[in-house]
Structure 1
Amino acid sequence: MSAIVGEIMYILLSCAISLDGYLDDATDERLVLSNAADLDRVDAERAGVDAILVGANTIRRDNPRLSVRSPARRAAREAAGKPATPLKVILSSRDLPADAAFRADGAALITHGPLDAVVKDLADRGVERLMVEGGGRVLTEFLTAGLADELQLVTAPFFVGDSAAPRFVHDGRFPRTSRSRAVLASVSTIGNVVLHRYLVSDEAIDHHWLTRAIELSHRCPPSTTAFSVGAVIVDTAGEAIAWGYSRETDDLVHAEESALAKLPPDDPRLRTATMYSSLEPCSRRKSRPASCSRLIREAGIPRVVFALREPSTFVVGEGAEELTSAGVAIVECPELADQVREANRTQLGA
């Protein structure tokens, strides 16, 4: 998630484009690229955020309401103690039309200034999830500033074919994540359009793969003497190159050990890979001569991400400290720790 001066905000970019990368055509009439089912999906996404942000050109050109349209979703928000529709944020340094559709219902904030300052202000207002809907220049600014976590990109089977039309993104320096390209989290067809979900921040990518590791931990055969752990090894191209889980191949194998065993020890991809493990890699074990932290060090993996420190149920673990001392970068995601505890209810006596 995007870190904004101590606050955590998840920033989702959403747009629909033509096959040749345009948001609209060059006429005065708005070109609708999405279908009814996709527009309903967007409405559901709006219902799950705290604020929706667009640029002034989008207001002047498309005149959107920026509201949650479904009565059921509006009612559900109100039942949860939220306003029926999220805060509407418009980036503009000039006055906007008094009859603009966004003014019809719900609270609105018209603001301008450096983008990081705008996002910081929204975080201070309690916005934890922000949806950015355009236009192209605003989307470009969020991407080039490294302020986006996820991009939901819908592609319609349509060609605009006019260089005067507004494009999805403008010229700019688009940073990659510190380790890899964006990760394609999912692809789905919605009628005759296609939704691609891309994760574009390090934090969102880490959550994606760590969640996959936690899912693998639920495959572990039952045990009262060892934890249920899942592990995924991801290379710098954003591809999972190996995965494993506790007791996958025998009663004693650990998740990281199982994943590493599926690759040759001299695989060059390991030297720049990330090991995702639902639980902190062990530093001591009674069943094998080499701990998982040792196996990770010997493989040359430079980065490890986990959700929960190893409880002292069976042994006192210091895997994170050992790996850090060896120069391995450690990232802990405690916000996912409860999911790991749930997979180990028996072992933890819950």
Structure 2
Amino acid sequence: MPHPYVLLSAAVSLDGYLDDTGPDRLLLSGPADFDRVDEVRASVDAILIGAGTIRADNPRLLVNSEARRAARVAAGKPPYPLKVTVSGSGDLDPSANFWHTGGEKLVCTTDKGAERARSLGLAADVVSLGPELDWHRLLEHLHEERGVDRLMVEGGGRVHTQLLQQGLADELQLVLAPLFVGTPDAPRLFGPGSYQAGRLRLVESRRIEDVVLMRYEPTAPGTGLHPSPADRHWLSLACELATRCPPSQTAFSVGAVVVAADGTELARGHSREVGDPVVHAEEAALAKIDPADPRLATATVYTSLEPCTRRASRPFPCARLILDAGVRRVVTAWREPDTFVAGADGTGLLTGAGVDVVVLGEYEGRAKAPNRHLL
């Protein structure tokens, strides 16, 4: 099921700490960056923090700018985003600022934690995610039941770590402050464990007074049938490539990208590229890769349209080319209609051969856009 866009936001010292061990909160950035955070808060549907952050920092999580609140209302939104906290135990302080400021509040917890949280008389909805905390279920609930399309996560480090390790973060906004903490017992941003492979993509870097904002996106594809945030990026690129195709009345415009498991782009292609009137996108991309490249076995092919199973212009359809290349995972936006081939079922051919096929239907509109004249 679809998830919201998950944006992780944090400020850290040069040695990676979120705070020191003193009684007061360590301010890592200044007024200009606080205003930037306020702007980001105003742009999202919900803000999430862990229960530990409520206990440690007692935050309000408000949109402080009156103009930004007014803009939200003018757009048909509440003045403040939904505030969400996550607690396995349900052990929450009813006097915390979190409950007494801003708009609606939501507690996501376990079956046992829900009993505890409901007994506190909190001014919040309480939702149980089952016997254990389940981030997938939490994100599905926010999207399907609460209408959350964009979620800002402000901590703490344990929450950020879990979302990154489970491949659920679409973006990391990290502010680096010019100071050291140096205290081993102070809270760090990220904990130990297994993270997704590959380097993150630097989207933006910006100086804000004496701190630096860095925005990163993950690049590593998902595994199996579980889509990752990077899957959305690469499929979006495939849809963009489809718009570069020379127009045709007899063939679809399709884009394709082949990506290694560590997030390295191996090749890209689009229909009818370099003057070939019959080349398909997946065919064009795979032709640029050495067939002996060992990375193909764990690569993902992203294609804006389901790979074809029959064609008159070449000996082998794209689904067969993918199988012959040894690729075991395909992500697509759109199942092939009967416009040119009745009963096309590239997904069936691929899955029957053991390939994992993920369809991200939220990209169907973009994939269809350059093909409207054919539909």
Describe the SS at the equivalent of 2:266: strand
Q: Structure 2 vs 1, CA of residues 143 and 256 (structure 1 numbering), >3 Å: closer, same or farther?
A: closer
Counterpart selection for 2:100 from 93, 99, 103: 103
Give the letter aligned to residue 93 of structure 2. Answer: D
Alpha-carbon offset, residue 300 of structure 1: 0.9
Q: Structure 2 vs 1, CA of residues 338 and 115 (structure 1 numbering), >3 Å: closer, same or farther?
A: same
Partner of 2:300: 274
Partner of 2:273: 248
Counterpart selection for 1:158 from 168, 179, 182: 179
For residues 291 and 108 of structure 2, the distance between their equivalents in structure 1, rounded to whole angstroms, comes to 54
Q: Structure 2 vs 1, CA of residues 108 and 217 (structure 1 numbering), >3 Å: closer, same or farther?
A: same
Partner of 1:126: 146
Partner of 2:283: 257
For residues 154 and 25 of structure 1, the distance between their equivalents in structure 2, rounded to whole angstroms, comes to 16
Query: Is residue 167–residue 228 contact of structure 2 (8 Å, CA) maintained in 1?
Result: no
Query: Is residue 168–residue 228 contact of structure 2 (8 Å, CA) maintained in 1?
Result: no
Alpha-carbon offset, residue 185 of structure 1: 6.2
For residues 257 and 121 of structure 1, the distance between their equivalents in structure 2, rounded to whole angstroms, comes to 39
Partner of 2:201: 184
Describe the SS at the equivalent of 1:285: coil
Q: Structure 2 vs 1, CA of residues 55 and 324 (structure 1 numbering), >3 Å: closer, same or farther?
A: closer
Q: Structure 2 vs 1, CA of residues 314 and 185 (structure 1 numbering), >3 Å: closer, same or farther?
A: farther
Q: Structure 2 vs 1, CA of residues 329 and 56 (structure 1 numbering), >3 Å: closer, same or farther?
A: closer
Alpha-carbon offset, residue 133 of structure 1: 0.8
Describe the SS at the equivalent of 1:344: helix
Partner of 1:115: 133
For residues 220 and 86 of structure 1, the distance between their equivalents in structure 2, rounded to whole angstroms, comes to 41
For residues 98 and 338 of structure 2, the distance between their equivalents in structure 1, rounded to whole angstroms, comes to 58
For residues 98 and 310 of structure 2, the distance between their equivalents in structure 1, rounded to whole angstroms, comes to 63
Give the letter aligned to residue 34 of structure 2. Answer: L
Q: Does residue 1:300 correspond to 2:326, yes or no?
A: yes
For residues 302 and 137 of structure 1, the distance between their equivalents in structure 2, rounded to whole angstroms, comes to 33
- Identical columns (%): 53
Counterpart selection for 1:22 from 17, 28, 46: 17
Query: Is residue 86–residue 106 contact of structure 1 (8 Å, CA) maintained in 2?
Result: yes
Describe the SS at the equivalent of 2:333: strand
Q: Which runs of 5+ in 2 are unaligned?
A: 114-131
Partner of 1:194: 213
CA RMSD of aligned residues (A): 2.8
Alpha-carbon offset, residue 205 of structure 1: 1.6
Q: Structure 2 vs 1, CA of residues 137 and 333 (structure 1 numbering), >3 Å: closer, same or farther?
A: closer
Counterpart selection for 2:247 from 218, 222, 230: 222
Query: Is residue 214–residue 229 contact of structure 1 (8 Å, CA) maintained in 2?
Result: yes
Alpha-carbon offset, residue 148 of structure 1: 4.5
Q: Structure 2 vs 1, CA of residues 271 and 122 (structure 1 numbering), >3 Å: closer, same or farther?
A: closer
Give the letter aligned to residue 219 of structure 1. Answer: R
Q: Structure 2 vs 1, CA of residues 333 and 55 (structure 1 numbering), >3 Å: closer, same or farther?
A: closer
Paired residues, number = 338
